[in-house]
C-alpha cells in the first residue's frame, strides 16, 4: 500500500449543507439542517460551507440561509463559509459577518453553462465578482473563487485549460486566495484532471488550489488520486454523496466525504476527520431525507485490516 509522506495533510471542505441541500427536491426543515451541520462541525472537519445567499425564489431550499447561519453551533476551530452569487448576496450576508469567516464566489468556465446557471456571460460574471471580492476582503473575509465546469461542459464539451486558468488569474487579481476547479457535471477523467491541476500548480503558485469532483460517472475518487499525484492537497466533497448540478439533468452528486476520507486514511494521508463521526452524520442525513444515500462507505463501513496488514 503506498503511504503518504509523514505530515502530508489533506484539507477537506464539506459542502453538503449548501451544495447537497440545494439539490434536494424537497425543502429540508431548518432544524434538521442545523442539527446536521452541528454534527458535521464535530467530526474533525475544519471547513464547512453551510449555505448560500441566493434568491429564495431561485433556490427555495436555501431560503433559510440567515436563520441557519444564526443558529448553527460551530466550534471556533471550524471555518464557516457561505456561497455568494453577487453583490446583493454579499449585502444580505454581511449583517451576519460574525458568523462566518470565508466567502465562496463562482462562475462557469463555459459561456453556455454560465448563461444557463446565472444568466450572464463570463465577462459579466467576472466584472461583478471583481466588485464583490474586494469588498469581502475589506471585511476581513477569506475568498475562494470556484470555477464550474473546469474539466468539461455538457453543452460545449471540451473546455480549454487556457480559458480556465485565465479566469483563475482574474479571480486572484480581484483578491481570491483559493481557487477551486469544479467538475460540476462529472465529466473529468484522471489523465485530464492531473494535467489541468498540474498546469494550475505551475501557473498559480501563490494561492491554495482545490479540486471539486463529482461522481456522476463513478470516476470521482480516481480523479482525486490523479490530483494527489500532482500535489493537490485540498478537496471539496459532500457527505452522503449529496449534491449535483441543477443544469443539466442527470448530473449527480459530489464525491462522498466519507468515501474520500476513508480512501485518504487508507493511503496514509491525515485529514483530522473522525470517520465514524462523519458516518453518523451521513446516516442521520439519510434518515432525515427518508432514502438511502449513494456513498459507498455508508453501506460497507470502513475497512478493517485486523492485525496483519
Q: Which residue has the cell 476582503?
A: 137
For 105-153, the pLDDT digits (tens) are: 999 999 999 999 999 999 999 999 999 999 999 999 999 999 999 999 9
For 207-226, the pLDDT digits (tens) are: 999 999 999 999 999 999 99
- Per the residue annotation, which of 143, 153, 176, 245 is the catalytic one? 245
| Rounded-to-integer distance, Cα 238 and Cα 235, Å | 10
| Rounded-to-integer distance, Cα 151 and Cα 188, Å | 5
Residue 7 has pLDDT above 60, yes or no: no
For 131-142, the pLDDT digits (tens) are: 999 999 999 999
User: Can you tell me the mean pLDDT for 182-208?
Assistant: 97
Q: Does 153 participate in catalysis according to the annotation?
A: no
* Length of the chain counted residue by residue: 309
Using the CB atoms, write b or e for 30-50: b if 16+ within 10 Å.
eeebbbbbebbbbbbbbbbbb
Cis omega before residue 248 (within 30°)? yes
| Rounded-to-integer distance, Cα 52 and Cα 64, Å | 9
- Domains along the chain? 11-300 (3.20.20.70)
Of 136, 152, 155, give the one whose Cα is nearest residue 144: 136
Amino acid at each position: 500500500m503506498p503511504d503518504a509522506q509523514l505530515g502530508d495533510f489533506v484539507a477537506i471542505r464539506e459542502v453538503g449543507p449548501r451544495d447537497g441541500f440545494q439539490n434536494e427536491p424537497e425543502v429540508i426543515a431548518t432544524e434538521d439542517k442545523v442539527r446536521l451541520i452541528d454534527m458535521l462541525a464535530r467530526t474533525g472537519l475544519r471547513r464547512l460551507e453551510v449555505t448560500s445567499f441566493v434568491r429564495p425564489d431561485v433556490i427555495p431550499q436555501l431560503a433559510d440561509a440567515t436563520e441557519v447561519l444564526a443558529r448553527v453551533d460551530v466550534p471556533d476551530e471550524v471555518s464557516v463559509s457561505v456561497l455568494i452569487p453577487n453583490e446583493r448576496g454579499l449585502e444580505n450576508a454581511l449583517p451576519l459577518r460574525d458568523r462566518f469567516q470565508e466567502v465562496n464566489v463562482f462562475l462557469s468556465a463555459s459561456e453556455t453553462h454560465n448563461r444557463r446557471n446565472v444568466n450572464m456571460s463570463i465577462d459579466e460574471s467576472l466584472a461583478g465578482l471583481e466588485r464583490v471580492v474586494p469588498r469581502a476582503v475589506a471585511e476581513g473575509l477569506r475568498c475562494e473563487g470556484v470555477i464550474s465546469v473546469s474539466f468539461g461542459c455538457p453543452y460545449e464539451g471540451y473546455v480549454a485549460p487556457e480559458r480556465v486558468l485565465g479566469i483563475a488569474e482574474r479571480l486572484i487579481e480581484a483578491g481570491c486566495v483559493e481557487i477551486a476547479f469544479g467538475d460540476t457535471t462529472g465529466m473529468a477523467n484522471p489523465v485530464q484532471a492531473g494535467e489541468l491541476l498540474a498546469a494550475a500548480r505551475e501557473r498559480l503558485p501563490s494561492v491554495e488550489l482545490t479540486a471539486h469532483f463529482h461522481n456522476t460517472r463513478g470516476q470521482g475518487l480516481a480523479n482525486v488520486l490523479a490530483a494527489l499525484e500532482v500535489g493537490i492537497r485540498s478537496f471539496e466533497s459532500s457527505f452522503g454523496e449529496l449534491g449535483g448540478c441543477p443544469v443539466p439533468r442527470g448530473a449527480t452528486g459530489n464525491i462522498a466525504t466519507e468515501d474520500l476520507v476513508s480512501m485518504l486514511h487508507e493511503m496514509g494521508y491525515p485529514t483530522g476527520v473522525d470517520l465514524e463521526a462523519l458516518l453518523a452524520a451521513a446516516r442521520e442525513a439519510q434518515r432525515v431525507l427518508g432514502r438511502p444515500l449513494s456513498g459507498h462507505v455508508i453501506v460497507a463501513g470502513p475497512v478493517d485490516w485486523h492485525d496483519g496488514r
